[in-house]
Amino acid sequence: MTKNHNRLTVQAWKHDLVAGFLVFLIALPLCLGISLASGFPAVAGILTAIVGGILTPFFSNSELTIKGPAAGLIVIVLGCITDFGFTLGQNPSADLEAYRLALGVGIAAAVLQILFGFLRSGVLVEVFPIASVHGMLTAIGIIIIARQLPVTLGVRAQGSPLDLLLHVPTHIRNLNPEIALIGSLSLFILFGFPLIRNRYVQLLPAPLLVLLIAVPLGNSFDLAHEHTYSLMGNSYSLGGKYLVSVPYNLFRAITFPDFHGLATLKAWKWVALYALIGSLESLLSAKAIDLLDPWKRKTNLDRDLVAVGIGNLFSAFLGGLPMISEIVRSRANIDNGARTRLSNMAHGLILLLAVVLFARVMHHIPLAALAAMLVYTGFRLAHPREFVRVFRVGPDQFFIYLGTIVAVLMTDLLIGVFVGVGLTILFHLCHGLPFRKLFQSSIRLEPKEEKHCYIIPQTAAVFSHWISLKKFIERHGIAQRCNVVIDLSEADLIDHTVMENLHQMERDFKRQELDLRVTGLERHVGLSDHPLATRRKRRTELKESESH
């Protein structure tokens, strides 16, 4: 592996430069759109991606992840800046103050993330029930759609995500036709592009195609100048407010944080959300990209968390958004032939050159086109297939998933996730697991036989036990180069989170040329026919174990 990796490092730079350039084409519009949707200046998202590209490769060993702003954090950043008095441009001085206070929150959260990494908290990704995590991501997608759909139609709208969704018919009735045409065409391209199977067409990134059509269309509508037009007896206004506003001097765009907000209690709620949700999303993305790595390299999640924390520290200090290891751009990085982390650095350097040399060109990008890209991103997070997939896993997981979504939409992310955790615990209690066993993990190790060790979780194997079970498996399996058999016959309850994680761990063992097998499930009944469904011990088996 080391010899092959060295060869990759020496010979990969051509592939990495090409991949970095293609990722830049995708990242540029997304960075602008995410930044504006978060209430930050447009250039803030680009600053984040520049820092994430140029700085983090020196600290992380993740070869293929792209660091930058993420749509999944829009809800948190916008909530934070709004809590500090953001007025959507009605009061520029108040907006600047709210922006600087939010940057102070970003600094504090970055320090926490660095501490998480040094305290080896990369295991944080394993803490939450899987259905609750997926529910959070789906809810984020729905919120992004609700907030960005009015922008694609040229309508100004405020309110909670549920209010915005309920008023979609009103937004359609009040749309600005020329802006809506740009937004609708952009959506048509983004949703239709994956259906085109021609490999030569697929070489052109869909976001770039959107810009190639939206920018000339915006110029033909003369969006750069304030004016009105009439259509079917109605009058509509157009002007620069429908275009991206980017400062022509990058260094003048740098804004430093204000730490006075950290003296208030509300600031620490957002610090916790930045640090916890940002870290969770970043770790999930890094873990997912490892599974796609053609060379089966494995990211040190603790080290990657430190890198993201350092990146966020510099990003917030310069006026940028929080960053994560971003899944969409990382997947594009792999698809475009990246070999090493040089591609991440290349995309950051090209972004820097673009914003320094072509800032005036960016001012011609219609906001409706960027909003359409975010609507598409939100749709991918909340794809109907995800609802179907979770439903197939089992009714318990679907209820937890829906409960998390509804709770996030009605309250906020943190409360929503913990509602999902609470629902998971409630289901476990309803399935007969005593409350004390939820947090008491008992694991027995049988003597090794022919390079095999038998690990037997007793009482239960549920999400709250997973961290200790995982460490136990790694210590006696991978660390000692030993094949592992997980015997679940003595566990009264095995939940979906443990089943899913064991399934992923089988792949980790295969990468190490080891074997991990799960046995003892014949004594349990699944809550659905799905192979990874929650399982509880059959009543006859349960009575026998209780009698002993």
> pLDDT truncated to tens, each residue of the chain (548 aa)?
444 444 455 567 888 998 898 889 888 888 998 999 999 999 999 999 999 999 999 999 999 999 999 888 998 999 999 999 999 888 999 999 999 999 999 999 999 999 999 998 877 667 789 899 889 888 888 988 998 999 999 998 888 888 999 999 999 999 999 999 999 999 999 999 888 887 777 777 888 889 899 999 999 999 999 999 999 888 999 999 999 888 888 888 899 999 999 999 999 999 999 998 899 888 878 877 886 788 878 889 899 999 999 999 999 999 999 999 987 788 778 877 899 999 999 999 999 998 888 888 888 999 999 899 889 888 988 999 999 999 999 999 999 999 999 998 988 777 888 899 999 999 999 998 999 889 888 899 987 666 789 999 988 999 999 999 999 999 988 888 899 999 999 999 999 999 999 998 998 898 888 999 999 999 899 999 999 999 998 866 555 555 55
Cα–Cα distance, 32 to 263 (Å, whole number): 31
Token representation of residue 357: 């040399």
User: Quick one: which H or E segment has residue 466?
Assistant: helix 466-476
Of 3.40.1440.10, 3.30.70.1560, 3.30.750.24, 3.30.300.30, the CATH number of 435-547 is 3.30.750.24
Ranges of each domain in the chain: 10-379, 384-430, 435-547
DSSP H/E element including 329: helix 327-335
Q: Write the single-letter amino acid at 382.
A: A
Q: Is 296 exposed, middle or buried (0-12, 13-18, 19+ CB in 10 A)?
A: middle
User: Nearest 5°: phi and psi at 310?
Assistant: -65, -45
Q: Identify each DSSP E strand in 389-497 by its residue range.
A: 442-449, 452-461, 483-487, 491-494
3-state secondary structure of 445: strand
Angstrom distance (rounded) from CA 90 to CA 235: 23
Query: Can you tell me which residue has the tokens 């899944």?
Result: 327
